[in-house]
Amino acid sequence: MEIMDPCVPLSLLPPGSKAQVIGKHQAEYLDLPAIRTPLGHVITRWALTDEERTRLLAGEDLYLTIWSHGPINPVCLSVGVCDWTK
């Protein structure tokens, strides 16, 4: 997967949302462009490779791994943009 800039229409973001780069200046992590909303959402975007798309179409599952050093945080995976104002 390739990390992408999470460009989304501003109308789908609540007022006060801000772009940021997570992991910037931390050599052990890749820079992760994100949008943080005042509602607590952190939005990132990922592009699947052709091989990954084929594997998903063939029925393989999608996994999400979270490195968390505290309480487990809720997450959401979506295909395409959604309305983060709700």
What pTM was estimated for this model as a whole? 0.78
Summarised one tens digit per residue, pLDDT across range 45-63 is 999 999 999 999 999 998 8
Q: Both tokens of residue 52?
A: 């990954």
Is residue 27 domain-resident? yes
Is residue 67 domain-resident? no
The domain total for the chain is 1
What is the per-residue pLDDT for 15? 96
**CA 70 to each of CA 11, 66, 67, 75: distance values in angstroms, whole numbers, following the listed order:** 33, 11, 9, 15
Dihedral sign for Cα 79, 31, 61, 85, please. Answer: negative
Is residue 36 domain-resident? yes
Domain of 11, in residue numbers: 2-57
Q: Mark residue 2 as left, alpha or beta (left: phi above 0; alpha: psi -120 to 50; beta: remaining).
A: beta
Is the pLDDT score of 29 beyond 70? yes
